Structure 1
Amino acid sequence: MNNNEKLTLDNRFLQVARRAAIIAKTTDPWIRWHAYLTKWTEEACFAIQELMQAMPMPLPATALDVATGTGTPVIDLATTLPQCLFEACDIAAESIEIARLLAQEERLSNISFKVCAAEVLDYPDDSFDLLTCFFSLMYLKDRSMAIDQFLRVLRPGGYMVITTWVSENQLFRLVKDTFAMEDHKYPDGKDPFMFSDSQTLKALFKDKPVGNLFVKSRKTVLNWEGNEQELWAFFKDCNPIINTLLSKLSADQRKEREQHIYSLLSGFKTGGNILFEADMLVCLAQKKSLPH
């Protein structure tokens, strides 16, 4: 191994160690969500690539991924579209730091990251040919304002693609049945499945300057690389309603329910990973061109 190769290996080790340290100390469960559910957005990236082939849309020269989290989806896209210059933003500085490290590990030079909110995008008007937002719209504080911002930074004729989860995926159904859970809203009122049907999603674009608006459903598989206990601990962390339900049980009841969960999760194991199906919606909208 020559000195340059050793330096590269040392730098890569430092990046991985730094990313692991950030994840270990963070109090943000969403960072662990993005870090440990590998390739969970892969189908969404495939869907975008298929849309590009099916629609009369040229390959984008510039693209923006909003609420990028730790960057997994935009890194997949930047790898697939090396000729495109990507920007990505998120309100969480810790997530952006991890995203930068991941992009460095992949040696991607066509992607840049910035900390900013979806409702106040720090980019000039008419900057991007493509805008993506993966599984984040339901958590934004002001979704109408965010859509206005998406359209502001898109060039006339540019496309945005938004993906959302459909309710009743296999994992959530398993938990709801186990705990007789009637509501999946978080204590703060956020609903991860608020855009589970096409009409609700399309309603966001009422009176907005968009055309070629359509929504399609697509199946995906979420892949957990770990054991049942780790997945359950993570799922409780990311879904506050679960701990609320558990707190109402006696110690014996809680232990019994959680053992039942472990048993059910083991039925989803394939090759050491836990796989469960989920449906998503893929929404495409084109910014209307200015009249001549």
Structure 2
Amino acid sequence: EITFDTATIKDQVLMKSDGSPTYSFACVVDDAAMEITHVIRGEDHISNTPKQIMIYQALGLKTPKFAHLPLIMGDAGRLSKRTGAVAVSDYKKEGFLPEAIVNYLMLLGWSPGGNQEKIDLAAAVKRFSIKKINKAAAVFSMDKLTWLNGQYIKEMPAGKLTDLLIPFLQGKGYVSADFDKQRLEKIVDLFKVRMSTLTDFLEWADFVFVDQLTVGDEIQQQHLSHDRSKEFRILSERISRLDTFDAVSLEKTFRDLVAELGIQAAELVHPVRVALTGKTIGPGLFDTMAILGKEKTVQRLREAFS
């Protein structure tokens, strides 16, 4: 509870010289007109509260209950754009889910207890008590928000996640109006465990949607500098003859070949992954081949050392 000595508060200006009301006067009249019973706001308004209470009393209005919450801070002081103070629409463009943002904001200054961090709004409403609000200022962490967003993505059904990703894919020109949604769901399901935001999917799975793959010079030098044209040619020929193009058939074809050539699987796995995806890490190689499709897999293997 906070107390003030009203004798130290100067007479308040209610109307400005241009005829417009001052902030405190407008707040009181507006809140009273809307029959506001509780005013919960940042602690930076503490100095305004006694002035507004005096105006309530002077006007014979019922005074609401006031509560002041600690401010949300950045790593090095007041929150700024660098540390998270941007529009909600910006988070949407970056691929953050509304439920993850709401969840994270609820954790800034309050906890459901039991070290629980993921909680939906309905459950939070049942368990919330303003008495459990932290007295210390909360620090906004993009890393924590991103982690929490990833938890929501990982638990989301592939169909629903695909629907959310379609506008991002259309924006990049990766899917047309008549795209195969069932195939797209399989691709999304393969990558969702690696996603922290919706836009992560565009970075992880771009190789599936582009016709011409670009491999960075450093990755090219590291994994494709040794001539594997013979191995790639044989692998592409055998894959092209497969009647069933799935991860199981692809793995058998691959392992039969490395055994026949007398080399370790690892000697071929990494160059093949880079040739197909332009990346050094990702989901299992054979699952990756399966979602890439036979035509692109064979073509990229043939062109890798051309």
TM-score after normalising by structure 1 = 0.23
More helix by share: 2
More strand by share: 1
Q: Taking CA–CA contacts closer than 8 Å with sequence separation of 6 or more, which of the two structures ends up with the larger relative contact order?
A: 1
